[in-house]
Amino acid sequence: MAKPFLLGVLGGMGPLATLDFQQKLLDATPADSDQQQLPSVVWNVPQVADRQKALAGRGPSPLPQLLLGIEKLNQAGVSHIVIPCNTAHHWFDELSYASAAPLLHIVDATLEGLVALPQKPQRVGLVATQGTLDAGWYQRALAQKGMEVLLPTADELQQWFVPGCYAVKRGALREGGELLSLQAQALLARGAEQLLLACTEVPLALRTVAAPFLSLTHDPAQLLAQRCAEIWLEYRHSYFPHTQSNNWNK
């Protein structure tokens, strides 16, 4: 039998986004009982150095704390690991190398979800940190599928995105939602057909202010949760088709 499925979540970036991801996992998993839900171990430790400041050269690297989380999740016996933080994927290769359990990349899950849409968008606005924008993961992935990517300007990032993101981190979701709505609306005004919310704080904030354009958005964390649920269901159906429990501890 394959190693029992047990998802490891390397979270804490920020802690509210990690809790939101856990809700997304529940929403993505069809289940008739507790025992059919996706099993997970969550490392929701927020004492991770600021990823945005690290990549801007204004703070220490978060890699040591991320590696500690990877170590603890592997010690817990997880079969897969996900990171519900887009910017932290800058250290994805180092974390993958240090982990016995494979890491699922949020960009791969996002691309799978977008190409499965009945009608693929042609122009996508990308709402993300400067670090994620500089890495170019989403731009390259979307371009390979024939989608044009619209990016925030430097002024928009400084005036709206960065203060909006940090407002969410200090618990001011409405303030953050109002600022991030301005960023999103600017991309739509420049011709984006749909928006990719490639920062886990952004969907939380936009939901708080009931942004009228939410139907035009895609959430990579939600698409990652859906991919996790798909893997769990494949395992559940293959090894325990007639039971309610996956007996992962046996």
Residue spans of the domains in the chain: they are 7-105+222-239, 107-220
Average pLDDT over residues 127-154: 96
Asked if domains 7-105+222-239 and 107-220 share a fold, the reply is yes
Q: When comparing pLDDT for 51 and 238, which is higher?
A: 51
pLDDT, the chain, mean: 93
| Cα R_g (the chain), whole angstroms | 18
Q: What is the pLDDT of residues 210-241, one digit of tens each?
A: 999 999 999 999 999 999 999 999 998 887 66
Is residue 214 a contact partner of residue 206, using CB atoms and an 8 Å limit? Answer: yes
Percent of the chain with pLDDT over 90: 88
Whose structure tokens read 């025992």? 35
Length of the chain in terms of residues written = 250
Instruction: Return the closest-CA partner of residue 128 out of 94, 156, 95.
Output: 156
Q: What residues are labeled active site? A: 85, 199
In degrees and rounded to multiples of 5, residue 51 shows phi and psi of: -70, -40
Q: Is the pLDDT of residue 248 over 60?
A: no
- Its CATH class, for the domain covering 107-220, is alpha beta
pLDDT band at 243 (very low <50, low <70, confident <90, very high): low
pLDDT band at 249 (very low <50, low <70, confident <90, very high): very low
Percent of the chain with pLDDT over 70: 94
Write down the pTM of the prediction. Answer: 0.93
What SS3 class is residue 30? coil
Instruction: Select from 1.10.1370.30, 3.40.50.720, 3.40.50.300, 3.40.50.1860 the CATH code of 7-105+222-239.
Output: 3.40.50.1860
